[in-house]
Amino acid sequence: MNPLPPSSIIVLEILGSEGAMTHKDIVKKTRCSPRTIRYALKKLKEKKLLIEKMNMQDMRQIIYQYRLSPLPESGMVESRAGSS
């Protein structure tokens, strides 16, 4: 089993404590480059540790959520990967 890169671990910690976020929010929170965050998210998706949702207020954005976090109660997002 391949370990996660440090950037993926940081993203998981942020999503686990702060809740669901967009790519832009994660970049701001971690102060990592956008490319580093894309790579981290890719690795987390490969390990099936993330849920991707569409932002219903801005359909151009995807909201990322740690799979083990509780689902938000607001109706702002809709599951893109199906229910878990």
Grouped pLDDT means (10 residues each) for the chain, 84 residues: 88 93 96 97 94 90 82 46 44
Taking the C-alpha atoms of residue 80 and residue 53, their distance in angstroms, rounded to an integer, is 5
Domain of residue 70 covers: 6-79
Q: Is residue 45 part of a domain?
A: yes
Tell me, yes or no, whether 37 lies in a domain.
yes
Q: Within a 10 A sphere around the Cβ of 8, how many other Cβ atoms?
A: 23
* Runs of H (alpha helix) within 1-84: 6-18, 23-30, 34-46
Q: Is residue 1 part of a domain?
A: no
List the CATH number of the domain containing 32: 1.10.10.10
User: Does 40 fall in a domain?
Assistant: yes
pTM recorded for the entire structure: 0.75
Compute the distance between CA of residue 46 and CA of residue 77 in angstroms, rounded to an integer: 22
Residue 23 has what pLDDT? 96
